[in-house]
Amino acid sequence: MCELLAMSANVPTDIVFSFTGLAERGGVTGPHVDGWGITFYEGKGSRTFKDARPSSESHVASLIKSYPIKSEVVVSHIRQANRGGVCLENTHPFTRELWGKYWTYAHNGQLSDYQQKFQVSRYQPVGDTDSELAFCWILQKVVDHFGDEEPEDLTVVYRFIATLADEIRVLGVFNMILTDGDNLMSYCSNNLCYITRRAPFGKAKLIDTDVVIDFDKETTPNDIVTVIATRPLTDNEDWHILAPGDWKLFHKGERVIDHFATNVAADTASQE
């Protein structure tokens, strides 16, 4: 399957360190060789880089590892294809406009018997993955439920999206990252974790390559940065492991919704 990476921060922050670890999993320490992508938000705008080549071999990925783009919200993905060919249109993250905002999404997992459920009209997939069609369906359902005007409180929208994710998870594995450029949602089906770094900062060492960073020298005492990943990226820090059905909503690095599945045993059984 694929692997996810995302970041929410209270100040513009680069993701060079974490992405350097993730990129190694695209062909060196992991089998995710079917493309990669990353989206950075800057205000209401965003910039996306994608490549159908493995991240460990991509010159574009080398640029991301060496060029510290500052952002408060980042979504990234490395792909191991199971639905759809290896090509740019099937490469995550996917982005669509809703309520005058760019919404960005990435998915890890595989779904079955989904075509009948995912009926869409306003939002159409460009590629032929289950992931992109699920994203279009989510946005379609959001518009059907809330209409063309953005609610004042977007947390109600994310709570609604969580119920949709619960429905999708019945069809298979559905680990998801979703953002409107301000809030960042992580939904766990079977593998997802996060870490929130704040003062006092220390050193961190990547698992997948011999890179160490001293965050105390790279940050201010007021910085708050949350990193979400499929699997922990460092081996000397305590990552929070999400259970099946858990989901979190982050804003400027802080958790604003901390939802735990009510029946972990039943949720786990649904994945077997």
Rounded CA gap, 47 and 39, in Å? 6
Active site residue 2: yes
- Closest CA relative to residue 80, chosen from 58, 54, 49: 54
**How buried is 235 (Cβ within 10 angstroms: 0-12 exposed, 13-18 middle, 19+ buried)?**
exposed
Closest to 222 measured CA to CA, from 11, 5, 8, 20: 11
Q: Report the helix count and the strand count for the chain, using DSSP H and E.
A: 5, 15
Instruction: Dihedral sign for Cα 127, 133, 135, 137, please.
Output: positive
Selected catalytic residue, list 2, 136, 188, 193: 2
| Secondary structure of residue 144 in the 3-state scheme | helix
- Inter-residue contact 127 to 178 (CB < 8 Å): no
Return the percent helix, strand and coil in the chain, to nearest 5: 25, 35, 45
Contact, 18 vs 234, CB < 8 A?
A: no
Using only the alpha carbons of the chain, give its radius of gyration: 17
CB-neighbour burial class of residue 43 (10 A; exposed 0-12, middle 13-18, buried 19+): exposed
Report the candidate in 7, 6, 17, 49 with the shortest Cα–Cα distance to residue 207.
17
Annotated catalytic residues are: 2
